[in-house]
Every structure is written in C-alpha cells, then in structure tokens.
Amino acid sequence: QVQLVESGGGLVQAGASLRLSCAASGRTFSNYAMSWFRQAPGKEREFVAMVTSSGAGTYYADSVKGRFTISRDNAKNMVYLQMNSLKPEDTAVYYCATNLRGSYRRGENYEYWGQGTQVTVSS
C-alpha cells in the first residue's frame, strides 16, 4: 500500500507562483515514477507532469510546459510541482499519483492517488 499526501495549494493572483508537495509513504519511493494530475470543476481529470523514478526524465502537458517544473527528492520521499506564471485556467484540484502501468498520460493507469490540494488562481 502507498499513501500520498499533497499540500501547498491556495488562492493566488494570476502571475503568481506556488509549489505543491506530495509526501509518499508505504513503498520504496525511488522505484516509481510520480505524476501530477488536475481536475477543474465540470472538467475531466488531465495529466500535468511526470517524473521518472530517478528524476532524470520529466514530461509535461503542453498547457504547462515552460511554466511548471516537476521534481523529486528520493531521500525525503517527496515530489514537487513548482508552478510559475499561474493563470486562471490553472484553477483545479491537483493530485499526485504513482504505481504506473502503461501510458503516463492516462489517469486510469495509476494505482495510488492522494486526496488532492486546491489551487485557485484569480484574474
């Protein structure tokens, strides 16, 4: 079993920055890729970013590329999402996920999810 706990969300103005954190426990964290997804009200969950188990590889949705950075600290069992130049359309609940089987862009391919953290960006 894996437990994931997100934190760091909040209400900010457009153009601001936030850093989300995801604390993992229950398995050898460094063996697994980690991802962030988000879901806005009335919309489907969408992929945001993924980092490979070693941290050497990162992948992003086109909508956040150049603004968001995913990273991890395997010694601390943590994964982060640095979000810069936030836009109102980034408003969503952000989730971290792990234990990937298949395409990293598809949420149904992840076994474990956190409870989410709300990010609200005002215009």
pLDDT above 90 as % of the chain? 91
Mean pLDDT, residues 108-115 taken together: 95
| Cα distance from N-terminal residue to C-terminal residue, the chain | 40
Residue 43: pLDDT over 90: yes
Taking only the tens place, the pLDDT of each residue in 14-31 is 999 999 999 999 878 888
With bands split at pLDDT 50, 70 and 90, how would you rate the model's confidence at 4?
very high
What is the residue-wise DSSP string for 23-88?
EEESS-GGGS-EEEEEE-TTS--EEEEEE-TTS--EEE-TTTTTTEEEEEETTTTEEEEEE-S--G
Which pLDDT does position 26 carry in this prediction?
A: 82
Asked whether the predicted pLDDT for residue 66 surpasses 90, the reply is: yes
Give the count of beta carbons closer than 10 Å to the beta carbon of residue 63. Answer: 14
- 33 burial (CB, 10 Å; 0-12 / 13-18 / 19+) is buried
pLDDT bin (cut points 50, 70, 90) of residue 52 is very high
